[in-house]
Amino acid sequence: MEKIKVLNVDDHYMFLKGLESTIDQNNSLELAGEARTGEEAVFLAKKLNPDVILLDINLAPAGGLAVLKEIMEEMPDSRIIILASEDDEENLFDAIKCGAKGILLKNLQPNELFTFIHMVYRGECVFTGPIAHKIINSISQLEEYSLEGCKKGNTLTKREKEILFEVTKGMTNRQIACTLFISENTVKNHIRNIMEKLQINNRVQAASYAMKEGWLQQVEQM
C-alpha cells in the first residue's frame, strides 16, 4: 500500500522532531518534509505535493493562518490539519473558512494522530473533542449562521441522533462504532443520511443544528 506523505510545519524544533519520530512509528505514513517557517512551508508544499500537511497555527512570525491561506490559494486541493492549543479559539473559524480540513490539539496521542491523518486523507474533516465543542457552541451563537435550507419535515431517527450526539464529542467513525456496538460502515451510512436529510455539508454544521433543536438533550435523557 502506498504511504501517505506528510509535511510537518512548526517553528519549535523539539516539537517538529517529536512529530518526525511519531510519524516514523507508523508504516502507513511517510515524512515528506519539514518546515520551520511559512516561506519554507509554501515552497515545500508546492515542491513535494504532500498528501497531508500538519501546520502549527502559531507559526512565527506571521502565524499559521497566513501560511494556510497562501497554500490554499496556490494549491486549493491541499489537505491541511491545523495543530493548536486550547487558547487558539479566535483563529479557528478563520482556519476553517480558509480551507483547513482538521483542527487538532497538540496534546493528542500518537494513535489518534494516525487516525485523523488517515481520515483527512480520505476526504473527511476532523476536530478533537474540546475544540469541536468550542466550534459548535460558537457557531450556535452566530446570528448570521443560517440553516434555512434544512427540511424541517425530515426528522432524524433515534439512532441518527445518537450518532450525532457522539459526533459533538469529536469522536471518529471508528470510536462511534465501538461506543454504539455497530460497524464503522453503518456509522458512515448514518452520517451520510444525516447530511442528506439536513442538507448540510459537514459534521460540525450538523452537530450545531442538533444543539439548536435540543436533540442532544433528548439523547442524554434516553
Give the whole-number percent of the chain exceeding pLDDT 90: 43
How far is 186 from 163, CA to CA, in rounded Å? 10
Looking at CATH, the fold of the domain delimited by 158-221 is given as Arc Repressor Mutant, subunit A (1.10.10)
Cell 473527511 locates to 124
Of 39-43, 44-48, 182-186, 206-210, the range with the lowest mean pLDDT is 206-210
Q: Domain-by-domain residue ranges, the chain? A: 4-127, 158-221
* Exposed / middle / buried, residue 41 (Cβ in 10 Å: 0-12, 13-18, 19+): buried
Mean of pLDDT values over 77-93: 81
pLDDT in tens, 146-203: 444 344 435 778 888 888 888 877 788 888 999 999 998 999 999 888 888 887 777 7
How far is 213 from 140, CA to CA, in rounded Å? 10
pTM: 0.66
The CATH class of the 4-127 domain is alpha beta
pLDDT band at 140 (very low <50, low <70, confident <90, very high): low
Answer yes or no: is pLDDT of 28 > 80. yes
pLDDT band at 96 (very low <50, low <70, confident <90, very high): confident
The mean pLDDT value of the chain amounts to: 83
Q: Is the dihedral of CA 116, 20, 106, 136 positive or negative?
A: negative
In angstroms, the Cα distances linking 3 to 8, 24, 27, 100, 117 are 15, 11, 8, 22, 12
- Asked if 167 and 203 count as a contact pair (C-beta separation under 8 A), the reply is yes
Answer yes or no: is pLDDT of 14 > 70. yes
Instruction: Give the pLDDT of residue 151.
Output: 43
Instruction: Give the pLDDT of residue 195.
Output: 84
- Phi and psi for 56 in degrees, rounded to 5? -70, 125
User: Which of 26-40, 49-63, 78-92, 96-110 has maximum average pLDDT?
Assistant: 26-40
150: which DSSP letter? S
Mean of pLDDT values over 7-22: 94
Answer yes or no: is pLDDT of 209 > 80. no
Instruction: Give the pLDDT of residue 167.
Output: 83
pLDDT band at 219 (very low <50, low <70, confident <90, very high): low
Mean of pLDDT values over 112-134: 84
Answer yes or no: is pLDDT of 106 > 90. no
How far is 63 from 45, CA to CA, in rounded Å? 17
How far is 219 from 211, CA to CA, in rounded Å? 11
Instruction: Give the pLDDT of residue 150.
Output: 42
Instruction: Give the pLDDT of residue 144.
Output: 44
